Amino acid sequence: MPVRAIRGATQLETDEREHLFERTRELVRAVLDANAVDSDALISIFFTCTPDLTSDFPAAAAREMGLGDVPLMCAVELDVPHALPRVVRLMAHAELAVERADVAHVYLHGATSLRKDLAQ
């Protein structure tokens, strides 16, 4: 089974823990649903946050969703001037029997502006 990388991002309204968890769960669910991936097919998820998000780790929200046995990691995005604020990004690696061009990447809320060619 091929391993594919799936990208996604969402933008938060505020840096509050519950809001971060809500948007992270929404993003993870959307990525899994759009690609018909269940947790057994997940290899890992790498999350990043813009430097203005410090209320908690997106991986903690994913663990609360039942993904505790999936390797999860968080990092901070580069602090680029004029970058879109309050963004959580993810790159999930999964066993996925589709061509690379057929992987469904998911961009939600204000993050749709990051990849208008891929936003759903």
Q: Alpha carbon of 35 to those of 44, 52, 70, 75, 103: distances in Å?
A: 15, 30, 17, 24, 7
Whether the CB-CB separation of 80 and 53 falls below 8 Å is answered with: no
Whether the CB-CB separation of 63 and 92 falls below 8 Å is answered with: no
User: Catalytic residue positions?
Assistant: 7, 63, 74, 77, 89, 107, 115
